[in-house]
Structure 1
Amino acid sequence: MIKIEQLSKIYGQGDDQVVALEPLDQQINAGEFVSIIGPSGCGKSTLLRLIASLEDPTSGSVTLETANLKRPVGFVFQDAVLLPWKTVAENIRFPLDTTGVSRKQANEKVAELVELVGLKGFEKSLPKQLSGGMRQRAAIARALADDPPILLMDEPFSAVDLLTRETLNDELSRIWQKTGKTILLVTHSVEEAAYLGSRVMVMSPRPGRLKATYDVDLAQPRGEQTKRDPKFLDLVSELRTLMREMTS
């Protein structure tokens, strides 16, 4: 689904030059949920932005095997960035309003997504009337509106409280299982990375390099029992140890 070849990113020039990402080779298969962790400034968010073509690489390439779709990637940012004057339904429908989809089809899709992310009953609410977690649910629904095969998420739950974050983790896991999307999630939470991912990529301190990858051998669907699984606890412990070693 995503083929990354010798991908690098350098900002600035001369003495002001910053190597955000050293040449990286990686392949993300269709339907994978890949969590990306690493110290601040290690190129995690830069990698997502390069995959989404929001920035141009210094060298290398990203190839998306998505049948030449007009919009192959949905992006969920740390802040929900909803349009404040539009309702939940209007925000979710916004990508569809620019693609020539009929109003009937768009409304049917919005209703489906509202149900999927658990916002039924809040379709007419404005963003200011929603909690932080509900705004992120709406942002996820909007990113899925025109059915992109790839969903990129840059620390989408970092601004919500722990209980809401755990609930959203469960919701995201359920959405992934139901839709079969290819998801890349940047997070600073080792537990979140292990709980959600089918694979965890660990990035080194800047200049960003791929330090290690871990396949996550945990049963689906995941829930509270997952967090008591010795394999989960061992993986979290190993990831924490690696992170400490890199930052000490």
Structure 2
Amino acid sequence: MISIDGISKEFDLGSETVTALDTLSHDVAAGRFVAVVGPSGCGKSTLLRLIAGLEKPSSGSIEIEAGRVRRPVGFVFQDAVLLPWKTVEANVRFPLDTGGTKRALADAKVRELLELTGLSGFAKALPRQLSGGMKQRAAIARALAEDPPILLMDEPFSAVDLLTRETLNDELLRIWERTGKTVVLVTHSVEEAAYLADEVMVLSAHPGRLVKTYEVALARPRNEATKLDRDYHELVAALRRDLRGGRIRP
């Protein structure tokens, strides 16, 4: 579904040119859950922005096979970025309104997404009345509003406490299993990457290069028992060694 072929991304800072990503190639198959980890500043968020078309690569190419859909990609940012003057349901339906979806269809879709994300009882709430976790659920619902086949997520749960994050991880898996989306998740948490993903991409320190990919053989569905699995702990340990041991430097 996503074919990344030798992309590099450079930023002109005036006095110098900084290379954020360097000749990165990878294919993401449809329906897969892929996590991306790497040191701070290695270009993980830039990679998502390139896939989303928010930035253009300096060289190389990204091809998305998504059929005839208006918006093939939904994006969930680290900050929920909800419109503060709109209710939860109005935030979720905003892409549908701007896209010209008929009112009856939009109403039905919003109800479906609020139920999917556990927000049915908060349709009329304003963002300031929500917890951090609930704001991110609303952001996920909004990203799914136009039913994009690909969901990109940039550290979506980094601002919430650990217990809330674990709950949101389980809810994200439930949503992914129900919708069949292709998910690419950027995270600094190796535990989160190992728990959620089918494969984990490891990027090097600046400039970001893909230096390793782990296939995650853990059985699905995932649950608390997964975190007791020996293979889970071995993968977490391997990712930590990669990130701390200097093996992922270019």
Question: Taking structure 2 as the reference length, what is the TM-score of the superposition?
Answer: 0.97
Equivalent residue runs for 1:22-171 within 5 Å = 22-171=22-171
Q: Where do 4+ consecutive residues of structure 1 move more than 4 Å?
A: none
Per-residue deviation, 1:14: 7.4
Amino acid at match of 1:172: L
- Residue in structure 2 matched with residue 202 of structure 1 by the alignment: 202
List runs of 5+ in structure 2 lacking aligned partners: none
Equivalent residue runs for 1:10-21 within 5 Å = 10-12=10-12, 15-21=15-21
- Root-mean-square deviation (Å): 1.2
Amino acid at match of 2:216: V
Amino acid at match of 1:7: I
Per-residue deviation, 1:68: 3.6
Inter-partner Cα distance in structure 2 for 1:105 and 1:50: 31
- Residue in structure 2 matched with residue 228 of structure 1 by the alignment: 228
**Deviates most, 9-18 or 196-205:** 9-18
Amino acid at match of 2:222: R
Cα offsets for 1:27-86 (capped at 9, x unmatched): 000000000000000010000000001011100111000114220000000000000000
- Residue in structure 1 matched with residue 192 of structure 2 by the alignment: 192
Amino acid at match of 1:89: E
Inter-partner Cα distance in structure 2 for 1:231 and 1:66: 33
Inter-partner Cα distance in structure 2 for 1:222 and 1:204: 28
3-state SS of 1:71 partner: coil
Amino acid at match of 1:69: V
Question: Taking structure 1 as the reference length, what is the TM-score of the superposition?
Answer: 0.98
Inter-partner Cα distance in structure 1 for 2:91 and 2:15: 43
How much identity, in percent, do the aligned residues show?
A: 65
- Residue in structure 1 matched with residue 216 of structure 2 by the alignment: 216
3-state SS of 2:200 partner: strand
Inter-partner Cα distance in structure 1 for 2:210 and 2:14: 25
3-state SS of 1:222 partner: coil
3-state SS of 1:41 partner: coil
Per-residue deviation, 1:15: 4.8
Amino acid at match of 1:56: K
Q: How many residues align?
A: 248
3-state SS of 1:82 partner: coil
